[in-house]
Amino acid sequence: MSVSYKPVIWNRTKMIYDGVLLAGIVIYILTFLKAGPLLSPALRDIDLPTQRMRAFGSLALLMLTIVLAIGPLARIDTRFIPLLYNRRHFGVMTAIVAATHSYYVFGWYFSYSPTPQLTALFTSNTSFTSVVGFPFELFGVFALVVLAVLAATSHDFWLSFLTPPLWKAIHMSVYFAYAAIVCHVALGALLDRHDLALGLLLIGGLALLCTLHLIAGRRETAADAAASAKAPEEPWIIVGDLSEIAEGRAIIGASPGGERIAVFRSKGSLSAVSNVCSHQNGPIGEGKVIAGFITCPWHGYQYRLEDGCSPPPFRERIRKYRVQMQGSSVLVDPEPLPLGTKMEPFRIPAELLAAVAGSAKLGG
C-alpha cells in the first residue's frame, strides 16, 4: 500500500522480480538469435532483421501466455501467489516486447513504402474472403492496441480513477488480445512457413491455458458448493467448522447469491468479511492477519477486523458480516452490513478454543 501515487514504488521484491524478468528477456532474445539458426531450419536461411522480428514476436506470445497462466496457477496452488504481486510489471513488459516486434516489422516491410506506413499496412492486403492470405496483420494491430491500453492504465491511479469494477473489466480484455495474437500467428507465421517450435508454443500454450482455467474454475465451483450449507436459523449459512480455521487464517464460504465470504480467526475471535479486496478484487480469504490487520495476498492491502476499513490515511473498505457459532460450526449472516459499520469480532467460547487446541496437539 502507498499513501501517494508514484510511478513505481521500488522495493527489494520488485527489484528482484523485474531483474529476473529482464534477464529472462535478454537471455531469450540472445539465445533465439545465436542458437536459433543452428537448431531450426526455419531460421537458418533468413536475414537478421527477420530473425529479430520473430524473436520479439515469439517472446511476446510466450510472455502473454505466462501472464494469463499465473492467475489460475495461483488458484490451484498457493505457491504461485508471489508471482501475482507484480504481475502488472510483467504485463507492461509484454506490451513493450510486442511493440518492439511491431517496430521491426514496420522498419523492414514498410520503410520504402510510397504511402504512410499505417496506411500501407491497412491497404496492402484486403483478401478478407480467403483463409490463406487473410490480412492477419490486423489481428496483430488490435492485440498491440489492447496491450498498450492495458499497460498505460496499469498504475493504481487509473485503478482509483476508473473504479475497481471498470478497471477490472477493461483489463479483462487481455483475453481478446490473446485471441487476436493466436489468430495473428496462426494465419500468418504458421501458414507462411513450417516452424515446429512456434506451432508448439501456440497450440501448446493455448491448450495449457484452457486446461488451467478449467481446473481452477471447477475447483472454485466445487468449493463454493461444498463450503456453505443452510443453517437452521435461515438465512444464516454454515461456512465450516472452527477446527478448519488456522490462527490468523480464514475459511471461505459462499452466500446463496454467490458472494464469497471469508471468516478469519485471530486472537480467540472470528471476523467475517467480503472475500473481494477493494483494490484489485484479490482473494482476501487467501491472505492472513498481520499485525492485527487482514492482509490481501496480492498487494498487501490491509483492513481492520472490526469494521473492514483500511487504517488511516488509506480509505479502502470491504463489507463486514455477522458471525455466530452453533457448537463448533461457524455461521454467517449472508446479508452484509453497511460499509464502515463497526462490529467487534465474535468471541469464541473458551471451551471450544481449548477443544480445538487439544485436537491440534493430538493431530501433531
The pLDDT value given to residue 9: 60
The pLDDT value given to residue 293: 93
28 Cβ neighbours under 8 A, 6+ residues apart: 55, 59, 62
Tracing cell 463454493 back to the chain, one arrives at 224
Which pLDDT tens digit goes with each residue over 41-89?
777 778 888 899 999 999 999 999 999 999 899 888 878 877 877 788 8
Counting Cα atoms < 13 Å in the Cβ hemisphere of 113 gives 17
The pLDDT value given to residue 1: 44
Tracing cell 473458551 back to the chain, one arrives at 350
At 13, the pLDDT band (50, 70, 90 cuts) reads: confident
User: Domain ranges in the chain?
Assistant: 12-223, 230-363
Cell of 2: 502507498
If DSSP codes are grouped into helix, strand and coil, which group holds residue 353? Answer: helix
Furthest-apart CA atoms within the chain: distance in Å: 85
Q: What is the mean pLDDT of residues 99-115?
A: 83
% the chain with pLDDT above 70: 91
Phi-psi region of 312 (alpha: psi -120 to 50; beta: other; left: phi over 0): beta
Nearest-angstrom CA–CA distance, 218 and 214: 6
Q: Are 67 and 91 in contact (CB under 8 A)?
A: yes
The pLDDT value given to residue 66: 96
Nearest-angstrom CA–CA distance, 59 and 50: 14
Q: What is the average pLDDT score of the chain?
A: 85
pTM, two decimal places: 0.73
At 231, the pLDDT band (50, 70, 90 cuts) reads: low
* The CATH number of the domain covering residues in 230-363: 2.102.10.10
Nearest-angstrom CA–CA distance, 193 and 42: 7
What's the CA dihedral at 162, 163, 166, 170 to 10 degrees? 60
Nearest-angstrom CA–CA distance, 133 and 129: 9
